[in-house]
Structure 1
């Protein structure tokens, strides 16, 4: 039974038109050598609407200090977290409570990152019962797949881009479970990107 609570788990993620969040190598597609289009209006919309989802280096470069109104907690899998580590960033979100799920990392390189080997579903259910803003599921695909049943809201940053193959929104290991969603917000940008917000309509 999926119980919808006041504090929601939101999968806020950039995706291509064909449903991929990264290329086949899993590297950061929006990094210096990435292929993701970062148009000025796309970045501005994030700054204005979801400033807390910008990593610390982007916040500093753009002069962003806004706390944000959507999330106070971010959840990340080990592989996604290690992309930041490889770039020399031990905590990309020091302005948020930052949980990284891993059974192999012995110690977090940053004291502000909470490393947990616990079951993601049990952890999220506990977090939902705590007071606070919503919980941001950053990714990657494996963590999103394991938390599929707990996701209350999807915010898709849909880019006018196709890549034919890569890392999908949800790991192929996730069970086949059709879910329906209601479009609650749609923001198209001049550059061709769209921000789509969906809430689950089947909560049983």
Structure 2
């Protein structure tokens, strides 16, 4: 069965971006498993703010995956690569998981990730912890969701200091 995977990077102090959404601290010297991961994904889900950031880099970064963007302001619109929805998150996930296909990547951002956590919709967490302290910013896991017990799957340590942790939902 398809899984919803949160594949994301954060600082050692639990931020996914600086307070002004800056991500210049992310390592770009290699892919850290990204190529293998994206090859196993055929659907990406993100919030509108994350979509806007992705668009600011130029070309849409996930042209080979079906894109779903949760947005109240653009619901019902489509582009070449994404469909904007404002439907019930759990219903969308249930529908996607019922279809044949590869895994589903929850790209972010923080508000959408929180909604997925509140509804216990994330099956696997792949978190790349970068050796940097930001001191402030957008937290990976803000307070406000119920406890979720996880099972350890893997830990990969890179010589750059990046540690990639993989956990699955129990």
TM-score normalised by length of structure 1: 0.75
Distance apart, 1:85 and its partner CA = 2.5
SS at match of 2:146: coil
Once the two structures are superposed, the pairs formed by residues 137-156 of structure 1 within 5 Å of their partners are: 137-148=106-117, 149-156=120-127
Aligned to 2:91: 122
Q: Summarize the Cα distance change of 1:159–1:114 in structure 2 as closer, same or farther, 3 Å threshold.
A: same
Cα contact 2:10–2:140 (8 A) shared by 1: yes
CA deviation vs aligned residue, 1:39-75 (integer Å, no higher than 9, x gap): x3xx24335532x2xxxxxxxxxxxxxxx1x211100
CA distance in 2, matches of 1:47, 1:116: 26
Q: Summarize the Cα distance change of 1:111–1:169 in structure 2 as closer, same or farther, 3 Å threshold.
A: same
- Stretches of structure 2 that go unaligned for 5 or more consecutive residues are none
CA distance in 2, matches of 1:176, 1:46: 29
SS at match of 1:147: helix
1:45 lines up with 2:19 in the alignment: no
CA distance in 1, matches of 2:68, 2:145: 27
Cα contact 1:141–1:167 (8 A) shared by 2: yes
TM-score normalised by length of structure 2: 0.89
Q: Summarize the Cα distance change of 1:160–1:100 in structure 2 as closer, same or farther, 3 Å threshold.
A: same
Root mean square deviation of aligned Cα: 1.7
Q: 1:20 aligns with which of 15, 22, 27?
A: 15
Which has more strand, going by share of residues?
Answer: 2
CA distance in 2, matches of 1:87, 1:72: 21
CA deviation vs aligned residue, 1:90-109 (integer Å, no higher than 9, x gap): x321111111111102634x
Distance apart, 1:177 and its partner CA = 0.8
Distance apart, 1:115 and its partner CA = 1.4
Distance apart, 1:176 and its partner CA = 3.2
1:83 lines up with 2:78 in the alignment: no
SS at match of 1:179: coil
1:166 lines up with 2:137 in the alignment: yes
Q: Summarize the Cα distance change of 1:81–1:36 in structure 2 as closer, same or farther, 3 Å threshold.
A: same
- Stretches of structure 1 that go unaligned for 5 or more consecutive residues are 1-5, 53-67
